[in-house]
Structure 1
């Protein structure tokens, strides 16, 4: 019996152990399933958050780029829902454009068509159409919910009697909502919003008057700022190398009541280090339904879209040095944010409502305590009369029946007045509508209840929030009509454009290629007007995808659009004939760098800052007065002094890819010098006493990664008087102290082999660029490849003025590399074999235009033959004069310049702006961009496009398979669209999508700016970049792409690329095609249909 009992007990124990193991396996499976779901939800949830590149390489981008699979209007609504960002200008601005004639009535009518119903009402003897009512509401701000209308009738209002009579009439026409219906409607609406558009912490703020959201965001800003710092501050957050989440845990472990959470250190210590697990645990603790996880996570991330946007970008940069050192990702951020919310929501819900801070309990509270909930909610929203607000405050700490009594009193006494006020507002709207439409007041009062009700329904169905899309379409239609009309008119004047190839007349004086940037258009226009100068447009990286290493800087720049990657790496190196000057240059540079570092450390030290004022205050005084009073003179003097201290060193770029043998020889030379040095340090032998064949043998030993010293190596060392121990010490020091080992050498070899371009790659790069532009014959003696950059002082946004196609950097390296390729005789031989004959007397020259001063600098002129000296001199004269004229044109657009300046005055002024450290608007940059033209210059060469159009040269005749067109539509057009959308949204809402005013900006962490000392990371463009006083300088319109190519070819590309379908079908980009053979413009509709444009007019462009 005992044996049976023991056996039974063992079986029970074994079953229990087995069940426990099974439960653990199931639990692990559930957790992994939830992890998979969480990762997918986070990936989709962050669509509304734009990635944010560091400010030093500002990248223009569409803030809603990840939502381009949605219709434009839908994406704008998503942005409004989660970011509270406005996607259209305030309606009063559109009305100002309407009053000034920038928006025409016919365009408004056309834009309204989609909303118009074929319905009419009778008022008096008139038939009023739905379209008439919508037009009047749109253009006169007539709305059922306008806040500026009086809440009660004003006896001084000229329409007082009419409003009073209409309000009486409305009381009988409009249905009255009883208390139960109102409470049910409020509860249902808020239940649908909870966890979808409102977080639990926001709910508490709106109902209990807590400040949970502010508490959480303030703490997160304080954690993100020091963790993400990239060398700007002197104090470093401890434990950053562990990652954001674990570092946060470590800093909180010694704290007691962060964010009002008691015993926070103990609670945080109990959290696991797995951020994903903590996120899942918090979502489950808050009881957020799994189907709502995506929206809920989006809401948490959109509380600080700036910091989250930068974290999103950092998390994807696996090779970014700061991310490697201090890892962070969205899961770590969410773990902190959601944990704070779980603790605080639970705390306040228990304190004020006596319920758990969970989603189901909140839903139950809204339903079961609907009167209390309604009063609390209205009180915090500021919609209760003062007496009722005071009573709500008194009852807030009590439970029980008195809430019902207070609500009943409110509903019986206050609500009728609120209803009457609502009727008064609606009556005022009807009065304004009647006045605008010339309706007699008596007819309005006496119309049937059915017609009056329908009129009110029409007004309510077209609130001001729906006006933006209509205004935008009308706004765009006006500009596009003018632009396309002028292009069509120019087309007619060029009869040969569609029917024959361009007839070569005389050889041009110069040919020059500029970035497609809208700022190039005025310069190109003025340059062409000075003589037989041909200009072309090409994306500013010129087809050269490189990572560029400046020889005097440690950092490398990514010289390509962010939507693609580099093909290779190139290095800038001093020219060989300057070898004797390098030691002096490097010495002086290091001394100045050390001085800058010392000053930085002294300024940011808690003690030495006080001594600094006395010690070097005078020098800063000189700088302050110079930059403020005489900025141009000070800038000139400082540049002169810099050149005296550090003479400029002429450089070249390593364009050619080295062979494997050359690579090994380069490494050998590099390491042989090091081996000599270490042998000298270990043995004390001088360089001439160390035999070369010993160094060669040591190099081979390391290269072959041999573990033991070979007898031949020992013998060679012995001949030089070096013992085996000294030899071992030498190898050990090379490996441990200098990292000279097989793996490191192999990595360096691989890196060098990825440097530069092969001959085939060079020929392909040059050939592709020339064929895309149609520059394949009749070459001038000089062909300028001109990148662009900018110059300004005290401007964190300086890189936003540089080349977007070069990743927010200057285009100088790309221009230099392209020119070195194009001047290579071997490359020209390859080009000739492929049908591009470049004359022997044609030379390419690299340059860069400073878009702030309109000055062009030419590079590597020492490589040019004396035979072209006069050509260079003439080119410089052309460029200088074109720059002066461009400066005058640009100055006419600055609001602070009232009178027209002469060429010389304009040139002086723009240079002054570039040097003035108080200037918040050194130039307008890419503001006012509206269109992208892909085609031959003949389409636009006679037009003044006012610096609003991207111009990319393209000749469809040399692109029989449309491969080049495919590249242009999927790369440069994307860059143009990102620039356009960055400016668009920064204008429609410069506080959410833009970065607000520069006046309040402070640089943080060497990667971004804050508004004041403490805020979300500011994204987008500043107010000064897009606004001109009360009205925008940048007129926010979606990009219109005008392409000269056969429609059938474009249709194939749209069918092939989802990106293009998103752009054109979802109305992010307007597409217009110039059919070459017909010479006719066609508009591409979102439905995929082509519509011939026949009514374009050539009015003056604005």
Structure 2
């Protein structure tokens, strides 16, 4: 016996390890779900980025039932409207190797027909692609759908109770035992379950691993089918499963094995109570919907071309042309043509060198975040005076955790790809009234906490309604009918209780001088500010402008903030970077490193509110007197640029005045941020389509429609290629996440998007539900990408545009396999050139090629 026991224990450990590995493999198809409080735009299919884009869509379609592109009907409507042309489609067919120059035309129905014309007829008139459907189903889902629905409802309710518990009025007993442990303790007493099911649940194993293994063994699922079986269960409620995975990976919360243990054990108990037996969940997938044959498609295409019916030999020849393009792959051709139409126009606009205003030393340089919404502000500011604008990731190279004056937990103000290097805090400035503000903030915070606690208590809400109802009704009416004035009044009252104070960001004393200098040097280089031999071109004022979005009653508020700042406002990062770059010891260290900063250059922080388009200068009290006049002029010009941008944006907002004057349109835009009933306070990053890495001279003077991420880059100053590598491996990847989130929320608003905001209910800080139960919603709400049935976001994959030596760009990809994989697998496209005016080149895994085929090839 003593010899057998170690073998049994080793076998059990091996099975548990195998189970956890299969759970990880099964979870690759799950979308990524961050908490709603720090909504981070991500590629929901990030786990499949190792696959070619089309293959990943096929995988996700079978597992999740998603639509991976716009439906063919929408593409055909775009063709009718001129948004896609026949030339775009021909070029897409050519790039996919479906046509080639020099091939003889086909003799069909008494006429000569080019291969491309036959394929075009199939694209335009062929029977549409069937609607997607989830094919990887559990056995219970197929044989006892009522039980499967009951399991979903039970699992969703427990996930909501456990994961949102920290915001609940009543604590969940046994929560310290984890999701499975707490559920195992309570489920046998749950009167919503049948008595026989509760009896079954009293015999559960103590660990989640053993609970899952027990069910798999009872159902006879072989080990080589575990992953497929578990994936079918995970994709029943992909939202909750995705969020549980996030918790388990990042903050020590429940993991997917616990989640699956709850699901499978509950399902087994309900089946037993119904007198059924659990079956092997790993049955073969049902066959996909049958596509029309190539012969049938050829006959339909010929009829669409107005030709006579084909005899058998001609029909076979036509079918041979259409065969390599399955019906299920047609939308990928449409997508490529749809993208090419926009990309070709953008690259044509960027091809010629742009005229640059001749001011060697501008009045100010304003470094904005690369966010597409900054493009409009930069354009309008440059039109107001001798200003130069630049673009950089909005955390400005300061990867920090930040604690504001009110205290509380520090927020990670950096991209989720990196960890904070240090912690900074907002500190009172001498004689700045910080004590009074801090006392007021505590008073307001205490009042909010007391009000929230009263609402969540068992009996207090009734007394609260009696005591405050007389005021709540008129206040609600005012917030609805006069949102702007009511919000302004609230702000004034807030300033009376907690008046503004002078503060500063404390650069940590624990950071060694050489570390400070290194951070400052990297910050300047990444922003492409003139240094070294060009240091004399640094303006007297250099403004680092972060951004954030103000909105009311909006669970997705963090989606309007800065992704480079971890879903927070960018003001703290701008303040920190400016404070660092103004330190005398840092300036001295920079000079020793050959990165001199003129003595009369002063760095100023600012924050652009993208919902109101107001730009607020920060820490103005720290500005030397000699710069105050220039700062006042800049503040006035920023206000003018913001008003122009707000008026421009007003034209696209639903319900906004169209014929009003500029001042009224700007006022309307700003009032939306205060309206608690407003589902579209702003469009956020809707429309994003490209990421340009180039000097401002490449884009200056162009109206890019707030659709392009703009990252400044000076190839001549980056001979080592380090800056380019940093841009392509960090900001570009974050932009691709944003692009993918908007893409999938548009093409599949029900599974990978969040549906309509109007029926959302918030679950703690976890996320939202549509209605009162069901799955946690993923992605962006429909109102972030569309106005009714009209798409505001055009779903296209991101185009990266780089102006740098081609060998340098290719070298970055060669050193970064995962980045190269994104391009090779067509999640991204890359256009590059070495010098202004050069023709654009397309990166392919086999090398550089001209961006567009020649006219005769098309």
TM-score normalised to structure 2 length: 0.93
User: Per the alignment, do residues 200 and 783 of structure 1 end up closer, same or farther by CA in structure 2, a change over 3 Å counting?
Assistant: same
Give the structure 1 partner of residue 832 of structure 2: 1073
**Aligned counterpart in structure 2 of residue 198 of structure 1, from 124, 137, 143:** 137
Equivalent-residue separation in structure 2 for 1:1079 and 1:217 (angstroms): 57
Partner secondary structure for residue 943 of structure 1: coil
Give the structure 2 partner of residue 657 of structure 1: 509
Correspondence 1:381-780 to 2 at 5 A: 433-439=301-307, 443-444=308-309, 447-449=310-312, 451-452=314-315, 464-490=327-353, 505-578=359-432, 582=435, 584-658=436-510, 757-775=511-529, 776=531, 777=535, 778-780=537-539
Give the structure 2 partner of residue 116 of structure 1: 98
Partner secondary structure for residue 423 of structure 2: strand
Residue 1050 (structure 1) shift: 1.7
Equivalent-residue separation in structure 2 for 1:1028 and 1:651 (angstroms): 42
Residue 269 (structure 1) shift: 2.6
Equivalent-residue separation in structure 2 for 1:939 and 1:486 (angstroms): 9
Correspondence 1:225-374 to 2 at 5 A: 225-255=160-190, 258=193, 260=194, 262-318=195-251, 323=252, 327-345=253-271, 356-359=277-280
The answer to whether the 8 A contact 2:363-2:387 is kept is yes
The answer to whether the 8 A contact 1:548-1:569 is kept is yes
Equivalent-residue separation in structure 1 for 2:809 and 2:601 (angstroms): 35
The answer to whether the 8 A contact 2:50-2:825 is kept is yes
Equivalent-residue separation in structure 1 for 2:129 and 2:551 (angstroms): 49
Q: CA-to-partner distance for each residue in 1:516-575, whole Å, 9 max, x for gaps?
A: 000000110111111110011000000000000112141221100001101000111222
Equivalent-residue separation in structure 2 for 1:780 and 1:635 (angstroms): 37
Equivalent-residue separation in structure 1 for 2:342 and 2:441 (angstroms): 52
Residue 586 (structure 1) shift: 4.6
Equivalent-residue separation in structure 2 for 1:762 and 1:622 (angstroms): 53
Residue 239 (structure 1) shift: 0.9
Equivalent-residue separation in structure 2 for 1:360 and 1:820 (angstroms): 60
Structure 2: state its 5+ residue gaps: none
User: Per the alignment, do residues 953 and 1063 of structure 1 end up closer, same or farther by CA in structure 2, a change over 3 Å counting?
Assistant: same
Q: CA-to-partner distance for each residue in 1:139-190, whole Å, 9 max, x for gaps?
A: 124359799xxxxxxxxxxxxxxxxxxxxxxxxxxxxxxxxxxxxxxxxxx9
Correspondence 1:802-951 to 2 at 5 A: 802-897=561-656, 899-951=658-710
Equivalent-residue separation in structure 1 for 2:197 and 2:34 (angstroms): 34
Residue 1078 (structure 1) shift: 7.5
User: Per the alignment, do residues 140 and 589 of structure 1 end up closer, same or farther by CA in structure 2, a change over 3 Å counting?
Assistant: same
User: Per the alignment, do residues 973 and 223 of structure 1 end up closer, same or farther by CA in structure 2, a change over 3 Å counting?
Assistant: same
User: Per the alignment, do residues 620 and 1082 of structure 1 end up closer, same or farther by CA in structure 2, a change over 3 Å counting?
Assistant: same
User: Per the alignment, do residues 31 and 129 of structure 1 end up closer, same or farther by CA in structure 2, a change over 3 Å counting?
Assistant: farther
Residue 347 (structure 1) shift: 6.3
Residue 841 (structure 1) shift: 1.7
The answer to whether the 8 A contact 1:526-1:886 is kept is yes
Greater shift after overlay, 98-107 or 535-544? Answer: 98-107
Residue 800 (structure 1) shift: 0.2
Partner secondary structure for residue 818 of structure 1: helix
Q: CA-to-partner distance for each residue in 1:729-749, whole Å, 9 max, x for gaps?
A: xxxxxxxxxxxxxxxxxxxxx
Q: Does 2:6 align with 1:25? A: yes
Q: CA-to-partner distance for each residue in 1:405-451, whole Å, 9 max, x for gaps?
A: xxxxxxxxxxxxxx9xx99x999988864552012xxx32xx43455
Give the structure 2 partner of residue 409 of structure 1: none
Give the structure 2 partner of residue 139 of structure 1: 124
Equivalent-residue separation in structure 2 for 1:616 and 1:1094 (angstroms): 67
Equivalent-residue separation in structure 2 for 1:105 and 1:874 (angstroms): 51
Q: CA-to-partner distance for each residue in 1:820-851, whole Å, 9 max, x for gaps?
A: 11111111111112222322221111110100
Residue 513 (structure 1) shift: 0.4
Partner secondary structure for residue 1049 of structure 1: helix
Partner secondary structure for residue 397 of structure 2: coil
Residue 656 (structure 1) shift: 3.2
User: Per the alignment, do residues 238 and 453 of structure 1 end up closer, same or farther by CA in structure 2, a change over 3 Å counting?
Assistant: farther
User: Per the alignment, do residues 900 and 524 of structure 1 end up closer, same or farther by CA in structure 2, a change over 3 Å counting?
Assistant: farther
Equivalent-residue separation in structure 1 for 2:237 and 2:453 (angstroms): 31
Equivalent-residue separation in structure 2 for 1:129 and 1:27 (angstroms): 69
Greater shift after overlay, 614-623 or 624-633? Answer: 614-623
Residue 1014 (structure 1) shift: 0.7
Equivalent-residue separation in structure 2 for 1:541 and 1:618 (angstroms): 45
Residue 1028 (structure 1) shift: 2.6
RMSD: 3.0
Give the structure 1 partner of residue 726 of structure 2: 967
User: Per the alignment, do residues 588 and 771 of structure 1 end up closer, same or farther by CA in structure 2, a change over 3 Å counting?
Assistant: closer
Q: CA-to-partner distance for each residue in 1:847-901, whole Å, 9 max, x for gaps?
A: 1010011101111111112222211111111101111111121112224336244
The answer to whether the 8 A contact 1:252-1:264 is kept is no
Partner secondary structure for residue 167 of structure 2: coil
Equivalent-residue separation in structure 1 for 2:28 and 2:385 (angstroms): 50
The answer to whether the 8 A contact 1:792-1:922 is kept is yes
Partner secondary structure for residue 743 of structure 2: helix
Partner secondary structure for residue 1002 of structure 1: strand
Q: CA-to-partner distance for each residue in 1:178-217, whole Å, 9 max, x for gaps?
A: xxxxxxxxxxxx9xx9xx9232122214xxxx32221111
Equivalent-residue separation in structure 2 for 1:766 and 1:987 (angstroms): 40
Q: Does 2:65 align with 1:81? A: no
The answer to whether the 8 A contact 1:226-1:236 is kept is no
The answer to whether the 8 A contact 1:762-1:821 is kept is yes
Residue 585 (structure 1) shift: 4.3
Partner secondary structure for residue 576 of structure 1: coil
What is the aligned residue count? 846
Residue 311 (structure 1) shift: 1.1
The answer to whether the 8 A contact 1:137-1:143 is kept is no
Give the structure 1 partner of residue 110 of structure 2: 125
Equivalent-residue separation in structure 2 for 1:528 and 1:798 (angstroms): 29
